[in-house]
Structures are given as structure tokens and as C-alpha cells.
Amino acid sequence: MSLNSIGRDIPDSHVGSRLLYQGPWARTPEGLRHAPPLGSIRPGDSKIIPSLREAIAASGLRDGMTVSFHHHLRNGDHVLNMVMEVIAGMGIRDLTVAPSSLFPVHGPLVDHIRKGVVRGLQTNYALGPVAEAVSRGELPTPMILRTHGGRVRAIEAGELAIDVAFIAAPAADPYGNINGVYGPSACGSLGYAAADAQHARFVVAVTDNLMPYPLRPVSIPQTRVDAVVVVDKLGEPKDIVSGSTRITRDPVGLLIARSAAEVIDGAGLIKEGMSFQTGAGGTSLAVAAFVRRYMEERKITASFGMGGTTGYFVQMLRDGLLRSLLDTQCFDLEAVESLRDDPRHVEVDCGYYANPWNKGAVVNLLDTVVLGATEIDTDFNVNVVSSSDGIIMGGSGGHADTAAGARLALIVTTTRRTRLPIIRDRVTTVTTPGETVDVVVTETGVAVNPRRADLADRLRERGLPVVSIEDMKKQIQDLTGKPSPAAVTDRVVALVEYRDGSLLDVVYQVKQD
Amino acid sequence: MRGLRRSFLFTPGNNPAMLLAGPIFGADALILDLEDAVAPGQKDAARILVAEALGKIPYGGVETVVRINPLSTPYGEDDLRAMLKAGPDTILLPKAEPRALAQASAMIQEAGAKTGILGLLETALGVETAFECGGIPVVTGLFFGAEDFTADIGARRSAEGLEILYARQRVVVAAAACAIDSIDTPFTGIDLGEDFFADLEVTKKLGFTGKACISPRHVEGINRALSPSAEEINYARRVLEADAEATRRGLGAVSLDGRMVDAPIVARARATLRRSGLDPGPASEPAPGPAWGQTPERASGPTPDREGERP
């Protein structure tokens, strides 16, 4: 076993040539960017290929290669399942599948794992049957879990070398220009697909909406796309984006949100030119609503809001509270329409958003990010990967990226979920290191990371109920009791990479009855 | 514990999550409800749950009030007996009339418990006997319940509340005469709209010391409306400083802003600070507050704090 700098044991057999996590900025990048081979399309050549099977054949996909997908169609995505079914039918095996996220809809992948079509998974988030199968040890190699920024870094560094990228394209023209704002499967931004298109050896656009050349706007340009395949349907629109996202009405959530807004103000970050990012959950949106009140009272305009974008942020843009919205993915229809119609609503790719190894990501310019948590420990480490019984049910996404970049990384959560305490001595899996987390806001008070003693004093002066995280833990565990650690075996089923590629933690196979 | 008594938040006694969340909303008192919120088939389960909650959940500075079922029902006495073991700060007795209050009061005193009673006046007889109800031992406040009251008198509830104006005033006056708290009926909507604030304004103008609510969203508004203003607090502090100065100089009274500061003014200032959750400090000549059950007739004199609140 080797210990990394936050005290997590990493079995030596999984360390190999990898580095252990030593701090959020411990690694210095070296070397050149990975690049796809040169290629050319000649006058008169067509990129339209009649079927997925023929496109896969044209891509040169063979046993042991890596295929990638983006997750903008979320739980409405049919493309990954469609492509993998064809690949399985062609007898190709031992593939690594690298989607930016996996949702419950991707359950058929479990069968491909069992039949040997899929041997490895690399993703930023996994929820549903695939994640559960991995937790049970069904995947022959450990799944690699990255952050959104870390995935782009790994692609650019050549650690995640994609052979064939299949890009679900809500709108495409015959020459391979793609955007996400038109068509029955419109999902808005295609920010997570950009790095795949830039670096994969072969890029296939899969569309159910072929539009005349030249398609505008261009999210992914023709210069990066080898083939265009037209299918009947990319996915289920109602599961791609929700009709609208709503602020929580739960009084506990509202109480937490209000405290969080006071913490942000107490930190001096509600000011002209501010920037912030919140999640799309009801409590996160409620934080935005309370922040909005302060902004209106003081006639403040933010320089930008960063999304995952919802209608709530769109309304703030329309009302002049945000000068711009930077957007890697749209969560609802209002956001899709705004991205299409409002030039101040800007599509950005995931590397621009969060890659730690480029010449400047948006997360570095965030004043505040509001994040959730499945578990938090008394070192402020956060778990959003696994449930307390050890089953994988999520992933970092942008969690660790934004926490590392923002001036104030705020976790909002209740202190318990059903009968389980959220705050504990040791999280089941570390997703975001505590040294990048500033404040935890719960219904029982505000815990400030001792690294931010200055902030604790300011919040106390403001009259906020500042408590130590140990007291917060004790208060909830007096009620719930101390949770037992997850029942797991000693077999590693997933490696958790920090955004710089170092090993933050591992996930073990769960014991089964 | 009993401290400020501005906001009383109802919480269903059969909902563990809400019992746990109850103390976090800033209400001065939490009413754990065994009566209307609980279906007849769940009465015993709710009783056990509330008793467990009182023993386990850290309610901190929030006053715990249990609304038991009326003593005239098959559940009321069992509720009360169970709660006397569980030890809430206060019992809210529904359908309170002198006989039922006296019965509950006797049970509490026999048990040697420190629990007080809020009488929920929600019948015509309860309202008409408010002063008598307020004088019963261990009764610490009168609580007006509009819904059952209007049903009892055959009136229909309206937004402007004319049909309950007399009853509200009667409860306020009787409680004041008994030197105990008066708590107003809750606003029955859940939104924070104009209707809520209009109703709260009536509560304040009529002189209620507290108000019940059924939504956590109403707590802050109630606390704000029923707390003294910053100017009142500032004036109270200056009165106490002037009084301390007078004591130091051996004077009986002193003038402030051209007006004499005497004992009733000082008492009112101390009450103002207490209602704001502030410590008025030790009294220069401490006056004893009423012991449990001291009716105004039996008390040795007017209670300075209470008198001070009603100039």
C-alpha cells in the first residue's frame, strides 16, 4: 500500500507508473499535446456513410481499441447503446469505452461487459446498472473515474487515447459541421464532445437531423469530422433536457441556501463583476435565487455565470444580472433556446472550462462555486462517487475542478440523508480533496475549513452560526449513530484520478450477500 | 427551555424527518402535534415517536410544546401521561375550557412536573372564560385557535377576519390581565404573500405576544414583527443606563429626554430587551416574577416585566 498526501491507501499493484496525489497543484505538465494523425478529404469525397456498421468498418476499429461518447443527451441517449450493439455484432472485443458520463439508460453496456466486448471503462460520472456492475466487480479492469477537466487533460496528454469518437449530433450538415441547438434531440452546448473531436483518430458524427451545408453555428467543425451517419433517432427528448428546473420548496433546502448566500456575501464575493457557478439541483438554484436578491438590492452585475445552465441562470442573463453565461451543457429547454438565440450565452468546451493543463481554464476565474456532497469528512474531503454502502453512483464531473479553481468552494448539504449521516470521520471515497473545500453549509450551521480562519472570523462577525466540522459531525452522529464502513473486498474496481491525473483514491468491490 | 415566545411552529408528530428538522427554522417554540396532524389510527405511534424525539433530538433553545388530543377524547389522558414522562416544556391543550385545564393542571402538579400549559381557546366557552382559564395554575399562556372557534360559533372564516376580531381581543386582554402570554392563531396559507403579512399586522396591532404558524417560511416574519424595533431596543438600553446611573447616585428617579424614568419605565425597558433575545442584566432591585399558577389576584403585585410590555 502507498499513502497519498491526504492519507488514502492506494494498493501498490495499481500505482505502477502512476503518481500519487500530492496536492492540487503538485504536478507540473511536461511534454507535447497528443494529436490525431493527419488526413485529408478530397474534392468530391462524401462524408455521408449509410450505416453505423459501415462507418465503424471505415474507422478501422479493432479489438482492444478505445471508443468515446459525450453525455449531452444525458439519460435520453440512444447513441452509445446503438453503436455498441453494432460493434458487438461485428465481433469486435476487449474495447475500452470512454463516455464523458454514464447514465441508467446505458444499462445494455453491462451485457457487453459480460460478453467481453468491453474490457475497460473511463468516465467522469457513472450512475445506474453499469456503475452497479462495476461495483460488483464485473469489469475485468478497474474503471477510471476522472473529473471533467481531468478527462480533457488526459485526452490532450495522450493518457486517454481515443481511437474512434462517436459524436451524437442533434444537428449536422453533410460535411460534418455539428451543433446541439437544432432538431428533435437538441441538447444545447456540446462542450464535452470537443476534446474527443479534436484528438480522436477517427470521428463519426451520428445525427437524426441532417441540415443543409453550411450549418451555423458550428460547435464542432467539419475539419475534425471523418464521417456522418444519419439514424432515425438520437434519443428520447424528454430525458435529454427537462422541461424546466425549479428552485426547491423544501424548507430545509431553502434554509441551507439562504445561509450559503450569506456565506458568499460574508466572504465579500457579491460585488460588481463577480462570477459564480451553481449546480442544477433545487438547493443550488435556491442559492442563486438568494444571491440574486443581494445583486438586485445593490444593483450588481456579474461578469459571468458558469454552467451547467438552467432557465434560472438564463433569466438572470435576460434581466441584466449576468453580462454573460459560459456554458458547457444545458439542463433545460430554456437554456437550449437561450444558447441558440442570445449571443451573450456562450458555448465553451470542457477544456476551456476546467482542464488544469492548458493556458487558463474558466474555473480559475470563478469567485464562488456551490457544490453538493454525498459524504464529507472532518478533513473536508468530499465524496460524490460512491454511496455509503460502497456502490458507485456518481462521479466528480466538475466538482474537483471547480473546487480547485474557485476562490470560495462551498458545499451545501443536509447533515443526514434518511438515516445516514453525511458528515463522518472518513469518507468512503475521496472525490474532492478537503484542501480545496472552503466551507460546508448545512441546516445545523456553517463549518469553515481551518485553512480559512480569516473567513471564519468574518462569518462569525456577520452572525452566522459557525461551528467546527467535528461538532457538526458529533451533533448528527449523536442522532444517527456512527456509520459502519462499507462492506467491501480487497479488489479494486475503480481508480479515482485527480484532475492532474494523480491517484486520489480507489473504489473497492462491494461484498455481496 | 422557555425563552422568547414570538413564533410557534406546528410540526406533525408522526413525521420523523420534520421532527428532526423542526428546531432549525428559528422558531422560538416548536409544537409537536399529536392532534389534528395525526390520523386516529396513528395516535399511539405518534405519541411514542414524539416522546422519543423529546428524549433524543437536541432542541437547544427552542421551547418544546406538545399539542395533545383533547382530554375529552380517548387519547387525551394517555397523551398527557406519556408527555409528563417525556418532559416537554409545555403542553398545548386543545378545546381548553376551565374544567379541562384544571384537570390537566392537576395531573401536572401531581406528577411534580415542570411542564407548563398553553390553553388553546377554540370554543365559544373557552374564549368567554379566557380570564378564568388564564388564572389556572401552570397555565403560561392563552392560544387562540380560529378554525375550530368559527366552526363552534357558526361563522365562516374570511380573509379580513372580522368574525374572529372579538375573540382575538378577548384572548389578548385576558392573557394580559393574567400576566401570561397570548398566542394568535396561525395564518393558514403556506405562501409568503400579502395576505400573510396583513394577518401578521393584525396580530401585532391587537397586542398578541406570539403567533403560531404552519410553515417554516412564516417564522422569520413573525419573529421580526413581534420583536421590538432597533429604536425601541436602543431606547431601552438608554433607559437602563440612566436607571443604573440613578442607582449609583442614590436617586429614586432620573430624567431621560425630558421624561422621568421610574420603575414601570425601567421594567418596560427590561422587557423590551428580553423580547429581543437580549440580556437586560441584573435588575437593580429584583422583583419576583410570578410562580407557577400565581393568578393576578394571588400575586403579590403586578409583574413588572409583563406590565412593562403593555404601556
Q: Classify residue A4: in a domain, yes or no.
A: no
A-chain residue closest to B16, CA distance: A418
Instruction: Please indicate whether, in this complex, the C-beta atoms of A478 and B216 are within 8 angstroms of each other.
Output: no
Question: What is the pLDDT at residue B281?
Answer: 77
Q: Classify residue A210: in a domain, yes or no.
A: yes
Q: Classify residue A497: in a domain, yes or no.
A: no
**Contacts for B119 with CB less than 8 Å, ≥ 6 apart:** B93, B96, B101, B126, B133, B134, B136, B139, B141, B142, B143
Q: Which residues pair with A77 in a beta bridge?
A: A235
CA distances from A384 to A352, A395, A475, B141 (A): 23, 6, 22, 49
Question: Are residues A286 and A148 both part of a single domain?
Answer: no
Q: Does residue A44 sit at the B interface (CB-CB below 8 Å)?
A: no
Complex ipTM, two decimals? 0.73
Intervals of chain A under pLDDT 70: 243-245
Question: Are residues A198 and A315 both part of a single domain?
Answer: no
Q: Does residue A254 sit at the B interface (CB-CB below 8 Å)?
A: yes
Expressed as residue numbers, the domain containing A223 is 47-240
Digit-coded pLDDT (tens) for A368-393: 999 999 999 999 999 999 998 999 99
Question: Are residues A90 and A182 both part of a single domain?
Answer: yes
Q: B12: which chain A residues are within 8 Å (Cβ-Cβ)?
A: none
Q: Classify residue A258: in a domain, yes or no.
A: yes
Which of B10, B19, B24, B49 should be substituted to probe chain A, the one whose Cβ sees the most A Cβ atoms within 10 Å?
B24
Digit-coded pLDDT (tens) for A457-512: 999 999 999 999 999 999 999 888 998 889 999 999 999 999 999 999 999 999 98
More confident residue, B258 or B23: B23
Quick one: what percent of chain B has pLDDT higher than 70? 90
- Rounded to a whole number of angstroms, the distance from the CA of B27 to the nearest CA of chain A is 13
Q: What is the CATH number of the domain that holds A225?
A: 3.40.1080.10
Q: Classify residue A512: in a domain, yes or no.
A: no
B189, B236, B199, B197: which is closest to B220 by C-alpha? B197
CB pairs under 8 A between A and B: 20
Q: Classify residue A376: in a domain, yes or no.
A: yes
Q: What is the DSSP letter of A139?
A: S
* Contacting A residues, span 385-444, partner chain B, CB-CB under 8 Å: 416, 443-444
Question: Are residues A318 and A403 both part of a single domain?
Answer: yes
Question: Are residues A273 and A393 both part of a single domain?
Answer: yes
Give the pLDDT band of residue B2 (cuts 50, 70, 90). low
Q: Which residues pair with A202 in a beta bridge?
A: A164
Q: Does residue A479 sit at the B interface (CB-CB below 8 Å)?
A: yes
Question: What is the pLDDT at residue A244?
Answer: 60
B83, B94, B99, B84: which is closest to B136 by C-alpha? B99
Question: Are residues A285 and A151 both part of a single domain?
Answer: no
Point out the domain boundary residue: A188, A217, A240.
A240
Domains along the sequence of chain B with CATH: 7-225 (3.20.20.60), 230-309 (no CATH)
- Give the residue-averaged pLDDT of B169-176: 97
Question: Are residues A234 and A285 both part of a single domain?
Answer: no
Question: Are residues A235 and A311 both part of a single domain?
Answer: no
Instruction: Please indicate whether, in this complex, the C-beta atoms of A251 and B215 are within 8 angstroms of each other.
Output: yes
| Contact assessment for residue A21 and residue A502, using Cβ atoms and an 8 Å cutoff | yes
Give the pLDDT band of residue B292 (cuts 50, 70, 90). very low
Instruction: Please indicate whether, in this complex, the C-beta atoms of B25 and A254 are within 8 angstroms of each other.
Output: no
A115, A101, A118: which is closest to A65 by C-alpha? A118
Question: Are residues A202 and A327 both part of a single domain?
Answer: no
Q: Classify residue A2: in a domain, yes or no.
A: no
DSSP class per residue in B14-79: T-HHHHHHGGGG--SEEEEESSTTS-GGGHHHHHHHHHHHHHHS--TTSEEEEE---TTSTTHHHH
Question: What is the pLDDT at residue B306?
Answer: 32
Digit-coded pLDDT (tens) for A195-235: 999 999 999 999 999 999 999 999 999 999 999 999 999 99
Owner of C-alpha cell 462555486? A369
**Contacts for A426 with CB less than 8 Å, ≥ 6 apart:** A377, A485
Question: Are residues A482 and A344 both part of a single domain?
Answer: yes
Q: Classify residue A148: in a domain, yes or no.
A: yes
Question: Are residues A262 and A315 both part of a single domain?
Answer: yes
Q: Mean pLDDT score of chain A, rounded to an integer?
A: 96
Question: How far, in whole angstroms, is CA A366 from its chain's centroid?
Answer: 17
Question: The whole model's pTM is what?
Answer: 0.86
The total domain count for chain A is 2
- Give the residue-averaged pLDDT of B204-232: 93
Instruction: Please indicate whether, in this complex, the C-beta atoms of A479 and B57 are within 8 angstroms of each other.
Output: yes
Question: Are residues A320 and A464 both part of a single domain?
Answer: yes
Grouping H, G, I as helix, E, B as strand and the rest as coil, residue A99 is strand
